[in-house]
Amino acid sequence: MEPFNYFNYFTEIEEHFWRKRGAHLLVSPLDWAIVETWQKAGIPLNAVLKGIDRAFESWGRSRRASGGRQLKSLAYCCLLYTSRCV
């Protein structure tokens, strides 16, 4: 088993979010704090990436997306994840 790399966890999530969003923009300090919370809670990387995929699928079906708005923050992913897991 490969040892856990703190920075890889953050980088993988950030790059996955960029790919899903379709834009290589800076992730906000709030987004970094959310990722750190997931990391400290021990949420596996693959679960986070699947959650981001589900959040983008949900966003794509929303009225906001149909109005041309983009999902810009991991906060939406966090809200979606916690509402399903609580």
Nearest in space to 74 (alpha carbons), one of 45, 42, 49? 49
Task: Give tens-digit pLDDT for 11-45.
Answer: 999 999 888 887 777 778 888 898 998 899 888 99
Q: Does the predicted TM-score (pTM) go above 0.85?
A: no
**Could you tell me which residues come within 8 angstroms of residue 66 by beta carbon, excluding any fewer than 6 positions away?**
none
pLDDT, one tens digit per residue, over 68-81 is 667 778 887 776 55
CA–CA separation, 7 and 22 (whole Å): 22
Cα–Cα nearest to 71, from 51, 57, 86, 85? 57
Degrees (nearest 5) of the Cα angle 13, 82, 55?
50
